[in-house]
């Protein structure tokens, strides 16, 4: 990527989303905005569907907020007409130089309804892999690709859309990994636990596959003298969580602590000896790098290890997705922890995350992209 030094000045950027709930994508956008403000960018955030913001920290930042507070209609059709009119009206602001949106639905809406002057000046961040979306979003992303600069948080996502991307495709399609506040998650010394403490962080859904980890841990419990405590932290209100709750109640009620999402999540990572990520698929999972930065020993499924972030037995452990291999890796890890033979692997994981996935690096990469399209 060639940087035009004549344009190496802060831009006026407008971030666009339907709403701003609790989520990994929203946390990443918050960190990006904070970094851009330090570079003296002017930042606006438009929420074209809602005025609700989960991360209250954003209200304290020196940015302009444009929130859709109109609740006049309960009719879905008229409500969405209002949302689109609200968005179009605010995008007529001639001071905006670049639009930045994220997630599949927002990417579709913004590229269709943004004024023509923003063609080629829309940054669209794809935060998830394409297994999680409908055919409509997949096809629309292919058709609308040339109208935006498309940023993927994993190589896997880019290659799902374009199996073998050509040089012309790569001119407006880039991979920028998520970034993390290393100071926030860094821990000099782990807390000592009397029994093995295991963590899983993420909403309780079929995709996150926590049920497999519980099933395997229950088998190990019944066949050995292992004592452990499991923390499951994340949204557990959806119907998909019922199976997990029933399994815990029947098999692991004494071993399990079920918590809603926690704002100070780093304090919980610091409790974990072992972090499990058994997801069926992931892009660039926030929870994995947060766990690595807090010096957890990590076991991940192949589906969750999209870009080979974890090298087996080097900076963590990878299993093939089956119960059998998961059980084998868990037993290997438990033996290592008992013998304190896991410390080099934990150190490798921390070094890998801190050297390659900092917020500073992510912000600089986005800054470079912004400068090339002004």
User: Is the alpha carbon torsion for 179, 181, 183, 187 positive or negative?
Assistant: negative
In Å, what is the CA distance from 41 to each residue of 27, 252, 285? 19, 50, 27
**In this structure, what CATH number is given to the domain that contains residue 258?**
3.40.50.2000
159 and 14 share a domain? yes
Band of the pLDDT at 178, cuts 50, 70, 90? very high
Structural Rg of the chain based on CA atoms: 22
For residue 131, which of 151, 94, 160 has the smallest C-alpha distance?
160
The mean per-residue pLDDT over the stretch 266-273 comes to 94
| Residue 369 predicted with pLDDT over 70 | yes
pLDDT attached to residue 194? 87
* pLDDT tens digit sequence for 287-331: 999 999 999 999 999 999 999 999 999 999 999 999 999 999 999
Band of the pLDDT at 71, cuts 50, 70, 90? low
Q: Where are the alpha helices (DSSP H) in 91-240?
A: 104-113, 135-143, 155-161, 182-185, 210-223
pLDDT attached to residue 277? 98
For residue 116, which of 142, 147, 157 has the smallest C-alpha distance?
147
pLDDT attached to residue 7? 55
Residue with tokens 């100070």: 264
63 and 99 share a domain? yes
191 and 225 share a domain? yes
* pLDDT tens digit sequence for 201-244: 999 999 999 999 999 999 999 999 899 999 999 999 889 999 99
pTM: 0.89
The mean per-residue pLDDT over the stretch 46-70 comes to 94
268 and 364 share a domain? no
Domain range for residue 15?
5-179+358-373
| Residue 6 burial (C-beta neighbours within 10 Å; 0-12, 13-18, 19+) | exposed
pLDDT attached to residue 94? 87
Q: Is 269 helix (H, G, I), strand (E, B) or coil?
A: helix
pLDDT attached to residue 3? 44
pLDDT attached to residue 82? 92
| Residue 262 predicted with pLDDT over 70 | yes
212 and 260 share a domain? yes
pLDDT attached to residue 320? 97
Percent of the chain predicted with pLDDT > 90? 81
Q: What are phi and psi of 198, to 5 degrees?
A: -115, 140
221 and 147 share a domain? no
DSSP assigned state of 315 = T
| Residue 102 predicted with pLDDT over 90 | yes
352 and 366 share a domain? no
77 and 106 share a domain? yes
Band of the pLDDT at 373, cuts 50, 70, 90? confident
The mean per-residue pLDDT over the stretch 184-207 comes to 88
| Residue 115 predicted with pLDDT over 50 | yes
| Residue 2 predicted with pLDDT over 80 | no
Query: Which long-range contacts (C-beta less than 8 Å, at least 24 apart) are formed by 209-213?
Result: 209/278, 209/279, 209/280, 209/301, 210/244, 210/278, 211/243, 211/244, 211/247, 212/278, 212/323, 212/326, 213/276, 213/278, 213/326
Number of domains making up the chain: 2
The mean per-residue pLDDT over the stretch 73-78 comes to 81
Residue 279 CA to residue 288 CA, distance in Å, equals: 11
199 and 165 share a domain? no
193 and 164 share a domain? no
312 and 242 share a domain? yes
Query: In the beta sheet, which residues pair with residue 99?
Result: 14, 122
Residue 205 CA to residue 184 CA, distance in Å, equals: 27
151 and 199 share a domain? no
Top-confidence residue, 94 or 141: 141
Residue with tokens 């304090």: 267
Out of 32-41, 65-74, 110-119, pick the least confident.
Answer: 65-74
| Residue 8 predicted with pLDDT over 70 | no
The mean per-residue pLDDT over the stretch 15-26 comes to 92
| Residue 199 predicted with pLDDT over 70 | yes
DSSP codes joined into one string, 273-292: SEEEE--S--SS-HHHHHHH
For residue 199, which of 260, 261, 273, 267 has the smallest C-alpha distance?
273
């Amino acid at each position: 990527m060639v940087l035009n030094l004549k344009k190496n000045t802060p831009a006026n950027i407008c971030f666009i989303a339907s709403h701003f709930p609790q989520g990994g994508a929203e946390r990443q956008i918050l960190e990006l905005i904070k970094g851009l403000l330090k570079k003296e960018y002017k930042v606006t955030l438009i929420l074209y569907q809602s005025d609700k913001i989960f991360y209250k920290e954003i209200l304290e930042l020196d940015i302009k907020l444009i929130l859709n507070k109109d609740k006049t209609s309960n009719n879905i059709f008229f409500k969405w007409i209002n949302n689109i009119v609200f968005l179009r009206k605010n995008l007529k602001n001639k001071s905006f130089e670049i639009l930045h949106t994220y997630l599949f639905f927002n990417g579709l809406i913004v590229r269709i309804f943004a004024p023509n002057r923003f063609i080629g000046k829309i940054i669209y961040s794809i935060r998830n892999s394409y297994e999680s979306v409908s055919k409509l979003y997949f096809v629309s992303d292919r058709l609308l690709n040339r109208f935006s600069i498309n940023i993927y948080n994993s190589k896997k996502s880019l290659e799902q859309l374009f199996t073998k991307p050509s040089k012309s495709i790569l001119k407006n399609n880039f991979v920028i990994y998520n970034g993390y506040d290393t100071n926030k998650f860094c821990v000099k010394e782990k807390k000592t636990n009397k029994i093995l403490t295991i963590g899983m962080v993420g909403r309780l859904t079929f995709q996150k596959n926590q049920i497999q980890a519980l099933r395997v841990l229950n088998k190990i419990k019944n066949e050995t003298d292992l004592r452990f405590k499991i923390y499951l932290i994340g949204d557990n209100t959806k119907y998909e969580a019922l199976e997990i709750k029933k399994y815990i109640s029947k098999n692991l009620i004494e071993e399990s602590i079920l918590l809603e999402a926690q704002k100070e999540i780093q304090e919980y990572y610091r409790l974990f000896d072992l972090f499990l990520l058994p997801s069926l698929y992931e892009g660039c999972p926030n929870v994995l790098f947060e766990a690595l930065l807090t010096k957890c020993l990590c076991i991940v499924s192949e589906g969750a290890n999209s870009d080979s972030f974890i090298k087996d037995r080097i900076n963590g452990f990878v299993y093939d997705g089956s119960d059998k291999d998961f059980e084998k890796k868990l037993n290997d890890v438990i033996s290592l922890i008992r013998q304190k033979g896991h410390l080099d692997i934990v150190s490798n994981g921390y070094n890998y995350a801190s050297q390659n996935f900092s917020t500073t690096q992510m912000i600089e990469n986005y800054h470079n992209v912004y400068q090339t399209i002004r």
